[in-house]
């Protein structure tokens, strides 16, 4: 058994690293303006879009202009999504005659999909028409992912350029991310999913009878196209309520393997693209290595937790005491662990099992991955941004220890950059803890709990960590489709997204205007020492910020489970 587990994990990691290297090379070509094998097809379309929308793609933007364009684009997206959900009852492609989505749920959903969170407080197949699924959810899956990539590119330019205020053109970055990366990968992946049995149709829902003779309504719809981009763009919102645990979304072990690889792929490739664009591959490899080390640690804790016998089941002799609750027999035990760690490491939020049913230590891993600031590969683009922010804090600490001005990648880090970096790291944490404290203190917050004690606390913490971390997955034991949670989580999602991106753009503008530090005076950022320092800072910051509340949640539940108590 142990040998099989290791072989499957080795196959998974080898495949991931190999594909990330290939995609990293390709993305570097795309964003440096070099020709690729898709240029002949997409370049004319790219130029046509610039002409259609009156965009001068050669015009450089300073960070304020870049941020303003990005914010307006996203605010318009929120408004359009809200209106489409409100009026979907009058729009076509609605064979089930879905009515308007309730106002607070519609607002929460609009913010959710624009911020790349895809938190779903509703049941998609029971609430949204085919048009709403495609025009709102699928389109925003592309746009929100492209926004994250664009923001990361701007920050990379901040490090690579000198004595200029230009950090790129938002509309060009957005267009290229969609046309050359997200769209072709989504088409390919949708075909792979359809080959495994994922549905793609516009049929009305099917009336069926169960073996017991009861009636059942089986949802249909254009699922494969949305599932492909929801995973590749680290969005995560399912076409069906059960998400990737639904047989129409994730039919086979092979489709499950494809899905896990897909939502890690772009986030894992971007650090390698950074190294190529920066003309120093070792620096990109160092960032990638730091992400991979924390990811491996998370998988290790998850495997230990889920394969350790549940003491209450062990007494009964059932299935050797191993916890199989909430896991699909198609995927066994290992896949839900890797899927859960991957989805909370990347801010994807897709699930192929119920996280509420996992062992307490697994719940701790999922929570920590989201609370640490989506740096363990993280969301598409934003994961790399967050790791850069932690790298700045690491260099600041190094500067304090050796008594010199901190620098990173040849740029001096002064008070403005450090304040922006720390703000982007700390403010989402404040939102998670303060909103969680409010929820456990008022009736509206605890009325939707299915569990009491530390498990109930974990459910509430998970909801706000998922929102502020732009993850979108849920413990599934909390009824969050209330005005209280819809509005608070919407605020958490909006702040969690833009309090990271806007300071990152400000940092990019400040760094781009500076000179480059001489090579001889730089701290080496290609070494194992830098990698371990970065890993250490990420873990310590997360531990210092969240350990007290995690001790009252999953850790306490783990200890009480050993003594025979359940919640």
More confident position, 82 or 516: 82
In terms of Cα–Cα distance, which of 108, 188, 29 is closest to 491? 108
Q: Which residue has the higher pLDDT, 522 or 11?
A: 11
User: Which ranges in 440-482 belong to alpha helices (H)?
Assistant: 443-446, 453-468
| Maximum CA extent, the chain | 78
pLDDT number for residue 534 = 94
Instruction: Quote the pLDDT of residue 236.
Output: 86
Alpha-carbon distance values, 46 to 69, 98, 440 (Å): 19, 36, 50
Closest listed residue to residue 523, CA positions, set 418, 415, 391: 391
pLDDT band at 520 (very low <50, low <70, confident <90, very high): low
d(CA 137, CA 106): 12
Q: What share of the chain is helix, strand, coil (3-state, %, to 5)?
A: 65, 0, 30
pLDDT at 243 over 70: yes
- Bridge partners (DSSP) of residue 215 are 209
What is the pLDDT at residue 58? 87
Angle at 298 between CA 294 and CA 304, to 5 degrees: 145
Least confident of 16-25, 301-310, 313-322, 420-429: 313-322
> What's 376's DSSP letter?
S
Residue 1's pLDDT is 61
pLDDT, position 521:
66
Give 469-487 pLDDT, tens digit per residue.
999 888 878 888 999 999 9
**Over residues 151-156, mean pLDDT:** 96
Residue 27's nearest CA partner among 173, 226, 234, 230 is: 173
* Model confidence band, residue 300 (pLDDT cutoffs 50, 70, 90): very high
Q: What is the DSSP string of 526-549?
A: SSHHHHHHHHHHHHHHHHHHHHHH
The Cα–Cα gap between 511 and 173 comes to 19
Radius of gyration, CA atoms only, the chain: 23
Is the pLDDT assigned to residue 156 strictly greater than 90? yes
Residue 543 has pLDDT above 90, yes or no: no
216-222: list long-range contacts, CB under 8 Å, 24+ apart. Answer: 219/125, 219/248, 221/125, 221/130, 221/133, 222/130, 222/133, 222/134
pLDDT at 322: 81
Residue 471: name the closest of 488, 489, 444 by CA: 489
What stretches of 164-222 show up as alpha helix (H) in DSSP? Answer: 170-176, 183-195
Once rounded to an integer, what is the mean pLDDT over residues 366-373?
90
- The angle subtended at Cα 358 by Cα 312 and Cα 293, nearest 5°, is 125
Cα separation of 36 and 176, whole Å?
Answer: 12
Residue 86: pLDDT above 90? Answer: yes
Q: What is the band of 435 on the pLDDT scale with cuts at 50, 70, 90?
A: very high
* Cα gap 236→343, rounded to integer Å: 8
| pLDDT above 70 (res 346) | yes
d(CA 39, CA 373): 35
Q: Two tokens at 99?
A: 């009515």
pLDDT tens per residue, range 354-365: 888 899 999 999
Residue 448 has what pLDDT? 83
C-beta contacts of 418-423 below 8 A and 24+ residues apart = 418/392, 418/393, 420/503, 420/504, 420/506, 420/507, 420/510, 421/389, 421/392, 421/393, 421/503, 421/507, 422/393, 423/499, 423/503
Mean pLDDT throughout 301-320? 79
Q: How high is the pLDDT of residue 241?
A: 86
pLDDT at position 319 is 64
Mean pLDDT confidence for 205-221: 88
Q: Calculate mean pLDDT across residues 368-378.
A: 87
**Percent with pLDDT over 90 in the chain:** 70
Query: What pLDDT digit, counting tens, does each position of 386-432 carry?
Result: 999 999 999 999 888 877 788 999 899 999 999 999 999 999 999 99
Which residues in 284-319 are b (16+ Cβ under 10 Å) and which e? bbbbbbbbbbbbebbbebbbebbbeebeebeeeeee
Q: Which residues contact 344 (CB under 8 A, 6 or more apart)?
A: 365, 366, 367, 369, 370, 471, 473
User: Do residues 33 and 168 touch, judged by C-beta distance below 8 A?
Assistant: no
Q: Does position 256 have pLDDT exceeding 70, yes or no?
A: yes
In the block, which residue shows the tokens 């009336």?
A: 207
């Amino acid at each position: 058994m142990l040998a099989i587990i290791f072989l499957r994990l080795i196959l998974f990691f080898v495949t991931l690293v190999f594909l990330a290297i290939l995609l990293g090379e390709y993305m570097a070509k795309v964003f440096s303006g070099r020709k690729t094998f898709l240029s002949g097809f997409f370049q004319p379309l790219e130029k046509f879009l610039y002409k259609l929308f009156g965009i001068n793609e050669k015009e450089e933007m300073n960070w304020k202009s870049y941020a303003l364009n990005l914010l307006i684009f996203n605010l318009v997206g929120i408004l359009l999504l809200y209106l489409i959900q409100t009026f979907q009852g009058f729009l076509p492609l609605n064979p089930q005659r879905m009515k308007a989505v309730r106002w607070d749920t519609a607002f929460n959903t609009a913010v959710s999909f624009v911020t790349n969170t895809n938190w779903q407080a509703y049941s998609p197949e029971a609430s949204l028409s085919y048009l709403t699924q495609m025009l709102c959810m699928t389109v925003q899956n592309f746009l929100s992912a492209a926004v994250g990539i664009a923001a990361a590119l701007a920050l990379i330019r901040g490090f690579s350029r000198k004595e200029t205020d230009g950090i790129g053109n938002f509309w060009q970055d957005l267009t290229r991310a969609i046309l050359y990366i997200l769209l072709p990968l989504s088409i390919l992946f949708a075909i792979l999913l359809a080959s495994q049995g994922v549905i793609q149709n516009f049929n009305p829902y099917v009336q069926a009878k169960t073996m017991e003779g009861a009636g059942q309504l089986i949802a249909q719809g254009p699922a494969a196209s949305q599932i492909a981009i929801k995973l590749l763009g680290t969005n995560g919102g399912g076409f069906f309520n059960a998400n990737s645990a639904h047989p129409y979304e994730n039919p086979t072990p092979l489709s499950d393997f494809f899905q896990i690889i897909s939502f890690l792929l772009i986030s894992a490739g971007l650090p390698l693209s950074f190294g190529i664009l920066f003309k120093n591959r070792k620096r990109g490899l160092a960032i990638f290595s730091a992400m991979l080390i924390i990811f491996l640690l998370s998988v290790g804790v998850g495997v230990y937790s889920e394969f350790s016998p549940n003491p209450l089941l062990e007494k009964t002799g059932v299935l050797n005491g191993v916890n199989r609750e909430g896991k699909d027999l198609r995927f066994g035990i290992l896949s839900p662990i890797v899927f859960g760690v991957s989805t909370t490491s990347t801010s994807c939020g897709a699930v192929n099992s119920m996280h509420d049913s996992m062992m307490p230590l697994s719940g701790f891993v999922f929570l920590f991955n989201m609370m640490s600031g989506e740096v363990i590969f993280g969301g598409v683009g934003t994961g790399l941004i967050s790791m850069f922010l932690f790298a700045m804090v690491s260099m600041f600490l190094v500067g304090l220890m050796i008594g010199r001005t901190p620098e990173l990648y040849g740029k001096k880090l002064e008070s403005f950059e450090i304040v922006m970096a720390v703000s982007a790291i700390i403010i989402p944490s404040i939102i998670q803890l303060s909103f969680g404290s409010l929820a456990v203190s008022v009736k509206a917050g605890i009325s939707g709990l299915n569990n009491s004690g530390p498990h109930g606390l974990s459910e509430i913490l998970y909801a706000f960590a998922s929102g502020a971390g732009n993850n979108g997955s849920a413990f599934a034991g909390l009824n969050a489709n209330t005005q209280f949670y819809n509005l608070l989580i919407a605020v958490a999602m909006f702040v969690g997204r833009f309090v990271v991106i806007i300071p990152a753009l400000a940092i990019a503008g400040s760094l781009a205007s500076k000179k480059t530090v001489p090579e001889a005076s730089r701290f080496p950022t290609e070494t194992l020492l830098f990698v371990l320092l970065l890993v250490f800072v990420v873990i310590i910051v997360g531990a210092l910020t969240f350990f007290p509340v995690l001790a009252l949640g999953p850790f306490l539940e783990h200890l009480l489970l050993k003594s025979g108590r359940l919640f």
